[in-house]
Amino acid sequence: MQNLQHLLDQYGESHQNSLNQKIHKICVPLIEWSLLGLLWVIPQPEFFGNLHWTHVFVAFAFIYYAQFRNLKLILASLLLMLPFWIYISLKPAQIFETSLVIFVIAWFGQFYGHKVEGKKPSFFQDIFFLLIGPIWISEALLKKWGRSLT
């Protein structure tokens, strides 16, 4: 099991530029929400019942986060997903189109931020850094309020 603070520090190494940090604070949640939206519209197998691929992804993420044995981390992750669940409850007609456009634009922003930074995205090193990004954003927001996940 890896140490959460160590992973956050590793992630932060490729996010030192203030513009890149600002871009990430906007784009990481947008990517998360739009990914959940894209997964939401994928037809689920009959044996899933009322479950969607979004539920499978969220369960996978929480299983990964559970290894850190950190309740604040789980709660922060839930809060980051809250806007998505509100959005879904409104049952927008064009969830696929909206999610796809946001997903593409947000990834463009991410790669632009890394071009400015001059470093490759962390997930090129380890794919699980895609799940560390939202935690890093949560940690940055909590530090502004004098709190921390670690």
Q: Which helix (H) or strand (E) holds 138?
A: helix 129-144
In 90-128, which residue ranges form alpha helices assigned H by DSSP?
A: 95-117
SS3 assignment, position 68 = coil
Q: Tokens representing 53? A: 């691929």
Amino acid code (one letter) for 128: F
d(CA 2, CA 69): 11
Note the pLDDT of residue 78: 73
Note the pLDDT of residue 149: 66
Q: Give the mean pLDDT of the chain.
A: 85
pLDDT digits (tens, 9 = 90+) for 89-146: 766 678 889 899 999 999 999 999 999 999 988 888 888 888 888 888 888 877 777 7
Which residue, among 146, 97, 148, 129, has the nearest Cα to 28 in the 3D structure? 129
Task: Please state the pTM of the whole predicted model.
Answer: 0.85
Amino acid code (one letter) for 150: T
Note the pLDDT of residue 150: 67
On the 0-12 / 13-18 / 19+ scale of CB atoms within 10 A, 144 is: exposed
Domain residues of the chain, as ranges? Answer: 4-9+16-143
d(CA 37, CA 53): 10
